[in-house]
Homo-oligomer: A and B are copies of this chain.
Amino acid sequence: MATLTNLHDALLDEVQDLYHAEKQLVKALPTMAKAASSDELRDAIQRHLGETRHQVTRLDQVFDLLGETPRAKHCAGMAGILQEGTEVLENGVNDALLDACIIAAAQRAEHYEIAAYGTAAAWARQLGLDEVAQLLKDTLDEEAAADATLTSIAQAGVNEAAEVASEQRA
């Protein structure tokens, strides 16, 4: 990475990191949705894929407000998280257990974004870039809601189904 000399550069660096994080998710979420056997989980992932695509366009607006051309910087954090997630998908886990593992992977991705958007929004506010801060906050709220939805789906039956399927195979 280039040496950061001021908070504006650091904010731009965060936004470039998030741009790559979101683009990786746009590629990964359809695979997760396809692998899900719970209708509720599949629907939730597909809805969040739509949100994620919109979050990319929101970042395009942020780049524009910062007077910069949209550019992604390799996001090693999201790359590592998705590498862990795809390992599970490739290992032929039974359907009910796979749903629980998909939720585990997706919640790691959501939490990466909650941390990163939280930082970026705080820095934008500090810099008096209110419109940028609001765009980042809008996405932050969506990520937190997506995380809460995944927790609800896990608690409403997916974890129990994963346990029952495990017992039947024991």
Interface residues, chain A, with chain B CB atoms under 8 Å away? 1-8, 10, 14, 17, 75-81, 83-84, 87-88, 91-94, 97, 100-101, 103-104, 107-108, 110-112, 114-116, 118-119, 122-123, 126-127, 147, 151, 154-155, 159-160, 162-163, 165-167, 169-170
- Minimal Cβ-Cβ distance residue in B for A167: B6
Q: Count copies of this chain in the complex.
A: 2
* A97-B4, A111-B115, A169-B6 known; A122+B154 contact, CB < 8 A: yes
Smallest distance from the beta carbon of A50 to chain B beta carbons, Å? 22
Docked complex Cα distance between A169 and B8 (Å): 12
Smallest distance from the beta carbon of A23 to chain B beta carbons, Å? 15
